[in-house]
Structure formats: structure tokens, C-alpha cells
Amino acid sequence: MTTEARRAQLLDVGARAFGTQSFDDVWIGEVARKAGVSRGLLYHYFPSKREFFAAVVEQHADALLRSTEPDPALDAAARLRASLEGYLRYVQAHPDGYRALYRGATSADATVRALMERNMDRQARRILRDLPPALRRADTELAVRGWLGFLVSSCLAWLDDPAIPGDALVDLWGRALGGVLLTPGADVPDSGS
Amino acid sequence: MTTEARRAQLLDVGARAFGTQSFDDVWIGEVARKAGVSRGLLYHYFPSKREFFAAVVEQHADALLRSTEPDPALDAAARLRASLEGYLRYVQAHPDGYRALYRGATSADATVRALMERNMDRQARRILRDLPPALRRADTELAVRGWLGFLVSSCLAWLDDPAIPGDALVDLWGRALGGVLLTPGADVPDSGS
């Protein structure tokens, strides 16, 4: 196996471990056994459990961002829908990685915490950049940050219990964003000018 | 100082520590110094850093739930508004405790993780119980769970940068909930009957 293929395989086994157990319950020896490698080899790729976890988180944070890249060829509504569908497709293809990213993610560690915050910042900035100026108000950034929390919480709950079809989940995400961006707050001024 | 007063004081100092630093960066010796007690006394009240952190999280989770208890004397809209105002008042009075609860909260630890999940379940069930049957659809529980994520994410962002007045934040929370509960999804059946 090449170095790159081995690293990818270890990250997959890691996502399964960190996505289904709390950080403290993950045993590196057990992960190595499942990957069919020695503890020593695992530590050669990832020097500590924290670094291994951070690598899993970073991989899925980056890939999730790539899979929701807005398509400039589409109009605003279709662009949002396409990004949300890309988000769901990623989550369905990588449920363990997604859980590791947002449920396992221990903010105990300052490195992982910074990584998660940067990831949320990038997502928020991308949505804000894509927003027509007419929709910008003083509460818009808070609305977008709140909505990202909506997305993650509803997605984790849906993974545990997919009570509705994926299309209906994407629709719920769209309605949630519309509910806060399209309806102006009573006492919130525009922030555009 | 009575045992109870001492415990309350230590929890206050703990909320400040866990609310402003990542779990790993909190040093028990430093917390004890700030509280004006010995490390030994702190460990007498809370046998480990994890147990200390879990006690801080539990205190604020419970108090937040109490401070948002729905008032049965009010109609549905006023009841929701009053609960959200209670939420904001609690957050403003205990910003460190709130941050410790939702930002510090390390899911590394299975005990704290279970505690946080129970807390979210209780909040979701309370909102669902209070919902008129006409508003219940197959996606309602996911919508409520998503909205709890909205509440926490926007509240944490607002504590860091209070770009809008508190009233406008409460209004944003109400609009977010209305946006997902009052507008039916295109392809989501009722789940009431």
C-alpha cells in the first residue's frame, strides 16, 4: 500500500471510531487492529490520538466545504438548493466522518477548536458573500451563524433517525434559512449602507 | 463559609475558567488559586477536572431549563416570547456558564455527552409538547432540534459580538422557529394522525 493510500485507509477507520464513540472511549490499539496495522505504524502516521482525531476532523471539514461549493452558473435559489443537496450527499456518503466532525468534535483541544471555528467562519462568509445586498440587515450574520447550527443539529438528528426523505430535509434547511433571511426583523435596521 | 456556599463559589470560578478556555487549558491549581482555596479543598468538592467540568455543565443546563419554563397562564405566542426572553436573561446574567455549557462542552467525555443529550432532549420535548396539533408534521421534531442548534449558535455568536440589541435577538429566534414550523414543507405529510 502506498503511503497515501495507507493514510486514507487509517483516516477511514478513524472516522468510524471517532464517529461512533466519544473521544475518551476510542482506543488506538483497537483502531490499529481494525485497520490491520500495528500500533507503531498508526503512531508513525499520527503521533497521538489527538492528532489522529484532528486529521479526521480536518479531512471531513475540508471535503464537506468542497462538496457544497456554490455553482456560479446557477441563479441564487438553484445555487443554494444545489449546495444543500451536495451537503446531504456528502453526509449520506460519510455518516461516520460527519458525526466525528460535529458530534465527536471535542473542543477540549485548542487545535481542534480553532479548526472548527475556522470551518464555521468559512461557511458563514461564503453564504454572506452570496447574499443579495437587499437582504443584508444588522442581524444577517447572526442569522447565518444560527442557521449553520440548525443545519448541523437537524442533520445529526436525521442521521440517527431519518424520519423524512432526504429531499424533505433539504427543503427544511431551505425554509429555515428563508425564514430568517427573507422576513425582516421588526426592529433591525439594514446594515448594507 | 458553609459547604453549600463554598460549592457555589467554586462552580462560579469554574464556569469562568471553562467558559473562557478550552478544557485542556484549564489548570485546577490556577482555579483553586483564583477561588482562594487549596488544590486539596477543590479536589475535596470535585474529585477530578472532568467531574468539576460536568458539575459546571449540569448546573447551567438545569438553571437554563428552569429559567425558560413555559408559563401556562400565557397564550402560545406570548408563552414562547416569555421563554425566549428568560433564555436571554439567563445568558446575559451567566455568559461564562453559558459558554462553558455549549462551547466548552467536550463530548470527549461520555458522561458530559450524555448530560448534554439529555438536556437537548428535554428542551425539544418541552417545545413539541407545547405545539398545537395542527402544526405537527413529519419534519416537526427535526425542525425543533435544528432550531435548538440555531438558538445556541446564534447566542454564542451574539455573546462574542452583540451586533444587535437583545430584543432583536429574541425576535430572530422567534422568526427562525416560525419559519420552520408555520410554513409547511412541500413534500412532508402531517404526522398527527
| Contact (CB<8Å) B138/A179 | no
* pLDDT score at A7: 97
| Contact (CB<8Å) A180/B179 | yes
* pLDDT score at B81: 95
Class of domain B3-54: mainly alpha
Q: Identify from B20, B22, B109 which residue to disrupt to test chain A contact, counting A C-beta atoms within 10 A and taking the largest count.
A: B22
Residues 20-49 of A with CB under 8 A from B: 22-25
Q: Each residue's pLDDT tens digit in chain B (193 positions)?
A: 899 999 999 999 999 999 998 888 899 999 999 999 999 999 999 999 999 999 999 999 999 999 999 999 999 889 999 999 999 999 999 999 999 988 866 666 778 888 888 989 999 999 999 888 888 999 999 999 999 999 999 999 999 999 999 999 999 999 999 989 987 765 565 554 3
Q: Does A180 touch chain B (CB under 8 A)?
A: yes
Q: Are B100 and B56 in contact (CB under 8 A)?
A: yes
Question: What is the CATH architecture assignment of A55-181?
Answer: Orthogonal Bundle (1.10)
Chain B residues whose beta carbon lies within 8 Å of the beta carbon of residue A105 = 107
Give this complex's ipTM.
0.92
Chain B residues whose beta carbon lies within 8 Å of the beta carbon of residue A141 = 157, 163
Chain A residues whose beta carbon lies within 8 Å of the beta carbon of residue B175 = 179-180, 183, 185
* pLDDT score at A76: 86
Name the residue of chain B whose CA is nearest to A179's CA. B179
First to last CA, chain B: 57
Class of domain B56-181: mainly alpha
pTM of the model: 0.92
Partner residue opposite B104 with nearest CB, options A24, A107, A148: A107
Pick the CATH number of A3-53 from 3.40.50.300, 3.40.1520.20, 1.10.10.60, 1.25.40.10: 1.10.10.60
Domain limits of chain A? 3-53, 55-181
Q: Does B77 touch chain A (CB under 8 A)?
A: no
* pLDDT score at B192: 46
Residue ranges of chain A with per-residue pLDDT less than 70: 104-108, 185-193
Q: Are A126 and A83 in contact (CB under 8 A)?
A: no
Chain A residues whose beta carbon lies within 8 Å of the beta carbon of residue B107 = 22-23, 103-106
Name the residue of chain A whose CA is nearest to B49's CA. A108
- The whole-angstrom separation of Cα A151 and Cα B86 is 25
**Per the structure block, which three cell numbers stand in for A58?**
480536518
Q: Does B141 touch chain A (CB under 8 A)?
A: yes
3-state secondary structure chain A: CCHHHHHHHHHHHHHHHHHHCCHHHCCHHHHHHHHCCCHHHHHHHCCCHHHHHHHHHHHHHHHHHHCCCCCCCCCHHHHHHHHHHHHHHHHHHCHHHHHHHHHHCCCCCHHHHHHHHHHHHHHHHHHHHCCCHHHCECCHHHHHHHHHHHHHHHHHHHHHCCCCCHHHHHHHHHHHHHHHHCCCCCCCCECCC
| Contact (CB<8Å) B107/A141 | no
Chain B residues whose beta carbon lies within 8 Å of the beta carbon of residue A108 = 22-24, 106, 108
Q: Which amino acid is at A163?
A: A
* pLDDT score at A148: 96
* pLDDT score at A193: 37
* pLDDT score at A192: 47
Q: Identify from B57, B87, B137, B139 which residue to disrupt to test chain A contact, counting A C-beta atoms within 10 A and taking the largest count.
A: B139
Partner residue opposite B150 with nearest CB, options A108, A150, A188: A150
Q: Does A117 touch chain B (CB under 8 A)?
A: no
